Amino acid sequence: MRVLGVEGTAWCASAACYDAESDTVRIESDAYEPESGGIHPREAAEHMQEALPAVVETVLDEVDGPIDAVAFSRGPGLGPCLRIVGTTARALAGTLDVPLVGVNHMVAHLEIGRHRSGFTSPVCLNASGANAHLLGYRDGRYRVLGETMDTGVGNAIDKFTRHVGWSHPGGPKVEAHATSGEFVDLPYVVKGMDFSFSGIMSAAKQAYDDGTPVEDVCFSLQEHIFGMLTEVSERALSLTGSDELVLGGGVAHNARLREMLETMCDQRGAEFFAPESRFLGDNAGMIAVLGAKMYAAGDTLPISDSAVDPNFRPDEVPVTWRDADEDVAVAPGADETVRGAEALVEFEGDRVVKRRLPKAYRHPGLDATLRRDRTVLEARLTSHARRVGVPTPVVYDLDPETSTLVFERVGEADLRDRPSADGVRDVGRHLATIHEAGFVHGDPTTRNVRVGGDDRTYLIDFGLGYHTDHVEDYAMDLHVFDQSLVGTADAPDALRDAVRDGYRERGDEAVLARLHDVEGRGRYR
């Protein structure tokens, strides 16, 4: 089987042929390079119009045998570019008299990593210009476990480099200047497995304007931004129980990001894989490979249907080419020692000892500050939640210097492993109660809720919490929990309704209204 792939979501006109029998991919690409600033949609579309016929012809001239299908990037991306790709693919499929396959560009980034690594069901970090999100397979879809709440990681870096006066793409220039930089403090924002880059980019621009050497700003941008991406990746591994991580997207070219992710995986005993360079940026090879999987599963389009979707989210794609029993979440173990995303947790009789371990991937100064501050916050907010009536463990001891806490042992299992509508409804009530008291949990996932034999539901792990009176922050708390349900529960819709019902009983309706806005704020919605 041979599949011709055509890619052109934004800046790179690319064609490829995938030969399934030999598992080989021939790729030909022609990238658009703006003279100044970022990508200009009109100019990118003009480039696509001129370059696509040539790259397609080059690939077809080297194909040894018939083409069985034509796959194209259906979205997400720039509408004018996508429409040119769709028209090109439709014409090729008609000329060759073969089926058409519409591929989600972001799922292709994930699938090429899964294909090349041989992993069974990994978590995937997509880090590209317009995107940054974590995906895991669950219940027939790739679920978004976490994502940027404002801009893609590459675009965020490009905003700083345009401010400095550097041309597109900015990522390689930041990486080169970072080699001689020193660490300076910048904002570090993670909310569960979601994250935000707007604050750090504003601070980086201001630091540069205030005279901080650009090498220091570049070094610190990488340490903070890639540290955030690595931390949320570890959270996704911890939440789902997966021990496989793949990296995709153009920003994956950055050596420091790959180093951080590999170090994190080594430290927790997980496997890490990043495809070779030609599969990292926008390329038709990944479109052809996923197109072949979809074609083999009978997931094709009529030749007349080459409609594109600039806002095509990966979680909107029915995954027809994978077995239903390949969900990323695994069964829990029964060990008395549990490694979470941040800490090692040991059960000692009726007590729990939690130690935040140094993270070798993070800058030592940043790591020490985060571990100390989060340990102190966890003790304070756990006790505060208990005082306002939310079931939490008693805090017996706190040692900020070693980032160690001793708690009462509560519950019998994580909510992830024993989901129920009643338990989830309790979580909604508990979150409403702490929001009324003026703070958020920060990371209310199904692994940070314990359930007992008496069906009592406890909130644990307040390390990412903070005091706030903003409706936006309360809505984000609910959003984090909602994503964890989608990523770990079978048929989660009823559970998602239950948490809203519980919140509505005690909370502010304005928070639920804002939750709707937050849900629509993902990069592609």
Q: Residue 335: its pLDDT value, please?
A: 57
The 10s digit of each residue's pLDDT in 120-162 is 889 999 998 888 999 999 989 999 999 999 988 999 999 999 9
Whether 118-274 and 2-112+279-312 are alike in CATH topology: the answer is yes
CA distance linking residue 486 with residue 494, whole number of Å: 11
* pLDDT above 80 for 325: no
Q: Residue 524: its pLDDT value, please?
A: 44
* pLDDT above 80 for 34: no
**Structure tokens belonging to residue 97:** 């008299």
Report the CATH number of the 118-274 domain.
3.30.420.40
Q: Which CATH architecture has domain 337-408?
A: 2-Layer Sandwich (3.30)
Q: Residue 38: its pLDDT value, please?
A: 60
448: three-class secondary structure by DSSP: coil
Q: Residue 303: its pLDDT value, please?
A: 84
The 10s digit of each residue's pLDDT in 336-387 is 677 888 899 999 999 999 999 999 999 999 999 999 999 999 999 999 999 9
Annotated catalytic residues are 443
Contact 393, 382 (CB under 8 A): yes
Instruction: Write down the domain spans for the chain.
Output: 2-112+279-312, 118-274, 337-408, 413-519
* pLDDT above 70 for 189: yes
Q: Cis (ω within 30 of 0) for the bond into 76?
A: yes
Q: How confident is the model at residue 317 (pLDDT cuts 50, 70, 90)?
A: very high
CA torsion, ordered 247, 253, 255, 261, to nearest 10 deg: -10
Q: Give the residue, 303 or 62, on which the prediction is more confident.
A: 62
Q: Which CATH number fits domain 413-519: 1.10.8.50, 1.20.1090.10, 1.10.510.10, 3.40.50.720?
A: 1.10.510.10
The mean of the pLDDT values for the chain is 93
Mean pLDDT for 474-500 is 95
Start-end of H helices in 169-283: 171-178, 198-209, 214-240, 255-268
Q: Residue 525: its pLDDT value, please?
A: 37
The 10s digit of each residue's pLDDT in 412-440 is 999 999 999 999 999 999 999 999 999 99
Q: Give the residue, 270 or 523, on which the prediction is more confident.
A: 270
- pTM (predicted TM-score): 0.93
Q: Which CATH number fits domain 2-112+279-312: 1.10.3720.10, 3.30.420.40, 1.10.10.920, 3.40.50.300?
A: 3.30.420.40
> Who's near 301: CB < 8 A, 6+ residues apart?
99, 100, 101, 102
